[in-house]
Chain A
Amino acid sequence: MRVCFVVHGLPPVERGGVEQCTVALADELARRGHAVEVFAPTRRADLPDRALRRERRGAWHVTWVNLESSPGDPETALEPRGVAEAFARFLDAERPDVVHVQHLLRLGLGPLAAAAEFGAPLVYTAHDWFALTDSFALLRPDLTRFEAAPTPEEEARCDLARSILNAVESLGDYHLGVPAAWLDEPVRARVAATLAGDEEGAGFHENEWTEARARRERMASRRRAAFGAVDAFVSPSAYLAGWLEEAFVTGAQSDTQDPSNGGRTRPPRVVHQPNGIDTRRLDDVPAVPVHSAGAATERVRLGFVGSLTKHKGVHLLLDAYAQLSDATRERLPLVIHGDSTDRAYVARIADRARELGVEYAGAFDGDRLPEVLAGIDCLVVPSIWYENFPTVLREAFAAGRIAVASDLGALPESVRDGVDGLLYAPDDADDLARVLRRLVEEEGLLARLLEGRPRVRTIETQVDELEALYGELLVGREAPVDPGGGLAHLAELGRRYRELEALPTRDLLASCTSRIADLAGVLGLDAARSPIERLAFGLGESSRSLEELRDRRDESGYLGQLLDERERRARWLDERLSGIERERDWLRDDRENLAQAVEFHETSTQALEKERDWLRQMQSDFERERNWLLSKQSDFQREREYLLSKQSDFQTERDWLKRKTAELDEERARLDATLHETRTAAEQERAWRDSMLSEIERERDWLRSEIRSREEERTWLANLVSDKEETLTYVWGLVEGKDSDLARLRSEIESCERVAAEVLVAFGHAPVELEPDVEVEGGGKLERMLGGLFDHGHALLAQLEALRDSQARAHAELHWRRGEMDGARLALARRTVSWLAYFAGFAKRVAAWELPGSGDGAVEDSANREVNP
């Protein structure tokens, strides 16, 4: 089987767990007879960018793709230019049966797409979360952990936050991020605001936010499509396998229908397959000395072994170590093995280690691992990220060491708390210190943990499973298309064609060059001439490669010139861009000014429109007035003509009037005389009337006084009547009493009479008749008195009525006199007014006739009055 591994680096340059794991797998597969080719990036100044170089590594080969430049932005980093093409060339030449990606750091997604295009089964081992996110350690730039795969929005925030860190030179190559506490306040606050999505606090232009978000949306889409081509995900831990299952199987069922997922029509497999290690070299590591089982251990040598990058948490280990007393430190010596390109962090760790009396041993050659592990008793894994499956942990166990690790991610799968190691609360230096103390303070703990060490999975076991997986994937592939289209006579040739197609290019070359010599024999050519001789001859004649090389050189020169030109143009464009940006800023200001001006103009326009409307209204009014004036003008013309005619009439009339005036003068004289007489008569009449009025008023006053006296009298009479009525009432009461007495007396008399009659009868006498006078003596007098009183009252009432009639007549006469007097006054006033009016009009007309040129003036005066009514 031909297996191709893709990885971001190999020892000795890259010494991480992934790289070591890849080497171990390649070694074991090659040992079993598989052809193993590794594709990995390198950085060599002596090679052209994207050049491929193949190199032998023991029983397998690595092909380096030279990636000179670092990607400038996340999007370019995800798909570096030319990597997919370079990997496609590699696949075309090597023809692997299986492509197994270990990591895509620096290579980006290109290899996935190229592998999908090539058609071999694609296996991806998830050593971290790169399949889900660029933040493959699930850490934000402030080294806080994501709880779920970040969304494009969160990744965009991280990008912007990283750009803030990029600008802080003192951070150097800060790798995954920097703890917020290590940042200066302004930077920390800005990073925090950015990660929180506080656009205002982050201080980025809105375009930067927009661009960052759009870029991350694109990247997420491309990541989904690229990883959609994977046939099987391998996860060393069950923990990460769960994430992959969720992301690519259960949570992404619909994606299997997506044509962009590499053409895969079924969901990928997710396989939990713990890494194995080559334990053989660790067999000879001396065992941890346990001084006395059951007693507290005298001394436990602690060690960190790994990359000195922040997510590995060495700073946390040192924080915990600082909490230990000197005496405890004495019993827990700590050594740090490792290095990284994060120089600022390495320097910080080295300084802190020195302060705490910790040995910082720096980098070590991989061959020295047994020696390194022999120098420690307990490996500390203080990671602050969701550690997946640390190889060094297996190596420590294989070397008979125990481990202390954070209770985070998949670490609890590797370290069983209290069985083969101890776990502490993640990020908790206090708890780590507590756990470390237990190692020397708890009796028998070390011995118990050493006893509980797990059996380490070997690389052989892992490769057994891997071979099985590869086999299943190959069996599961659709049969290759018959190039002969199913035609029987093409079947054999088609099969041979496929065989040759599957050969690596170098094998094809070897096959050809070896058999060309046989051809020489068939053709009967000189058997003494060696292939090398013929090849040299052929190459000497001409070579497409050489010609192509020359062409490429020429092209390179041309492209160099073109590049220079482009660079010049780029500089010019940069300058132009900055100019445009300045212009943009100016335009923005201008736009704001214009906006204000527009607002002002809009207001002005509104005012002007109102004014315009008013003016239009005025114009309309004026036009109407003009029309009216024109009509008036014609009217005036007509009137003027009329007046001219009238003027002549007036001339005539004036003459007539002059004559008439004379007559009137005479009449006036006569009337004056008459007026004088009339006035005299009127004055006389007025005096008479005044005297009459005085008399009437006097009479009125007399009548009023009479009325008052009558009123008083009436009042007196009324009072008298009232008294009389009371008396009458009293008398009526008496009369009624007398009547009742009378009636009673009558009845008594009758009774007496009847008694008397009965007595008389009884005594034999006849009934006696009473005299009427006797019977009504009392009643007759009263009736007469009452009759007299009534008569007197009636006489008084009659007198009162007479007085009232007299008063009413006096009032009526007074009223009539007044009316008559008012009528006389009114008539006099009317006559006076009519006279005055007559004389006033007459005087005016006379005055008008006497003015010089008064005819025209009168017209103009009239016209003026008409225009300005």
Chain B
Amino acid sequence: MSAHPPISAVVPGLDDFELLETHLPILLDELAPIGGEVVLVDDTGRAVIEPWVRSELAAHLGDPAHLDLVRVVSRETNGGFASALLDGVAAARHELVFAMNPDIRVTPGFLEPLVEHLADDVHSVVPRILLFGEDDRIESVVEIDFDRDVAFVRQRALAGEAERFVESSGPVTYAIGGAMLLRRTPFVASGGFDRIFDPFYYEDVDLGFGAWAAGQRVVYVPSSVVEHHHRGTIRRRVDAEFVRAVIERNRLLFQWKYLSADEFGERHLAALYRSAVDAYQRDQRRELLWLALALDRLEALRASRAARPKAVRSFDQVVAESRPRPDVRG
């Protein structure tokens, strides 16, 4: 008997077979004892994962019986991470869902701490995500900060503070979509990630930040450890400048989604004018391009803002309360 309820691991991806054949066996080893399953979401639009699972995967599994725990959801068209994850979560058989990218390699016992911390008021939990080969860099310690009145994600544990976040569980602004445990029902009911951020990046920031604004919490659990092999599932295929543009666009959209019509909103708007002029004067045309891409989404933004649940925390409150707490020592 397992100590906790069964879990569905949902892995949206493309034809990253090399990653899957490496990472799935360990994941299945963890899920099998608790009656879990793996839902592979084929987002290639070409249904290439199902035949691969049938013909190739078994050879990489320690226990061939684990193959029965793998299901494939093939999407008709390539739709990106957000929609693929939603499809996968919707297809999951269990209420607890561990969403992960194919380049995440779990470690033994990673699930139990996550489940333990998924309290009623907790929207999602995130493990200690280590950059593969760099134990002193943790991806999942995230918070929102500001630069000249424009919000951005700060990852303090990537900037030399990792050792301060290895013991205590605590708040983080959001759970990185590449490795997070959440509940299936509310996720599916809310339509998953906000599609305004399509095709990628910042949808998880939005999910976590929205949860905080709605009065829930997101928890970082360092005792659960996974490795991020950072093979660039998107960056391997897509132009790096384009990826950067999408990230920067979504950074603005994220802030605009939660910005209130107060002085902070005015400051931000003034900052946008200023940064546009600065970019022009400094020949930083790509910053203008990012802004232009974000401004293309104003109508979607309007809809997204309208769909926000009633906020119990302001922007500033979320930022303050979701900020990770370093370990208290001595």
Contact = CB atoms under 8 A, between A and B. Distances in A.
> Which of the listed residues B241, B270, B276 has the most CB atoms from chain A within 10 Å of its own CB?
B270
A577 to B, nearest CB: 39
Interface stretch (A524-532, A704-712, A781-789, A794-802): A524-532
Interface of B: 45, 77-80, 83, 148-149, 198-199, 237-239, 241-242, 245-246, 256, 259, 261, 265-267, 269-283, 285, 288-289, 291-293, 295-296, 298, 301-302, 305
B307 to A, nearest CB: 14
A522 B245 contact: no
Given A496-B296, A522-B301, A544-B282, A509 B239 contact: no
B288 A509 contact: yes
Given A508-B288, A509-B288, A516-B295, A497 B269 contact: no
A489 interface: yes
Contacts of A488: 45, 77-79
Contacts of B298: 515, 518-519, 522
A353 to B, nearest CB: 51
B266 A489 contact: no
A512 B289 CA distance: 8
Contacts of A778: none
6 contacts: A488-B45, A489-B79, A518-B298, A522-B301, A534-B273, A548-B282
Given A490-B199, A509-B277, A519 B272 contact: yes
Given A509-B288, A524-B261, 18 more contacts: A484-B238, A487-B238, A489-B77, A489-B199, A490-B242, A496-B293, A500-B293, A505-B285, A508-B288, A509-B280, A511-B288, A511-B295, A515-B295, A523-B269, A534-B273, A535-B273, A544-B275, A545-B277
B196 to A, nearest CB: 12
Interface in A463-492: 481, 483-490
Contacts of A481: 239
B21 to A, nearest CB: 22
Contacts of A544: 148, 274-275, 278, 282
A534 B289 contact: no
A520 interface: yes
Contacts of B289: 497, 500-501, 508
Interface in A262-283: none
B266 A519 contact: no
Contact of A535 (B237, B259, B277, B291): B277
Contacts of B149: 541
A489 B272 CA distance: 28
Contacts of B79: 488-489
B269 A542 contact: no
A513 interface: yes
Given A488-B45, A494-B242, A500-B289, A542 B78 contact: no
Contacts of B288: 505, 508-509, 511-512
A483 B275 CA distance: 25
A488 B46 CA distance: 11
Given A483-B241, A509-B280, A548-B282, A523 B261 contact: yes
Interface residues of A, number: 48
A364 B45 CA distance: 71
A534 B269 contact: yes
Interface string A571-587: 00000000000000000
Nearest to A493: B199
Contacts of A207: none
A522 B305 contact: yes
Nearest to B262: A525
Interface of A: 89, 92-93, 481, 483-490, 493-494, 496-497, 500-501, 505-506, 508-509, 511-513, 515-516, 518-520, 522-526, 529, 531, 534-535, 537-539, 541-545, 548
A370 B293 CA distance: 53
Contacts of A496: 293, 296
The 9 A-B residue pairs whose C-beta atoms are closest, nearest first, are: A538-B274, A538-B270, A483-B242, A485-B237, A524-B261, A535-B273, A483-B239, A508-B288, A544-B278
Contact of B266 (A93, A508, A529, A548): A529
A516 B293 contact: no
Contacts of B305: 522
Task: Name the prevailing secondary structure of the B interface residues.
Answer: helix
A541 B149 CA distance: 10
Contact of A541 (B256, B267, B282, B283): B267
B75 to A, nearest CB: 10
B253 to A, nearest CB: 10
Contacts of B276: 509, 512-513, 516
Contact of B256 (A494, A500, A506, A523): A523
B274 A539 contact: yes
A45 to B, nearest CB: 23
B144 to A, nearest CB: 18
Contacts of B77: 488-489
> Which of the listed residues A485, A518, A539, A542 has the most CB atoms from chain B within 10 Å of its own CB?
A485
Contacts of B285: 92-93, 505, 508
Contacts of A519: 256, 269, 272, 295, 298, 301
A508 B198 contact: no
Nearest to A485: B237
B231 to A, nearest CB: 15
Contacts of A534: 266, 269-270, 273
A548 B278 CA distance: 9
A518 B242 contact: no
Nearest to B252: A519
Given A489-B198, A523-B259, A541-B274, A497 B293 contact: yes
Nearest to B295: A515
A508 B269 CA distance: 17
A487 B237 contact: yes
A839 B130 CA distance: 133
Nearest to A95: B285
A483 B296 contact: no
A487 B293 CA distance: 19
A372 B259 CA distance: 69
A646 to B, nearest CB: 108
A526 B292 contact: no
A13 to B, nearest CB: 27
Contacts of B266: 525-526, 529, 534, 537
B283 A487 contact: no
B69 to A, nearest CB: 28
Contacts of B295: 511-512, 515-516, 518-519
A542 B265 contact: no
B262 to A, nearest CB: 9
Contacts of B239: 481, 483-485
Contacts of A543: 274, 277-278
Contacts of B83: 489
Nearest to A90: B283
B192 to A, nearest CB: 15
A536 to B, nearest CB: 8
Contacts of B271: 538, 541
A542 B199 contact: no
A518 B295 CA distance: 9
Contacts of A518: 295, 298
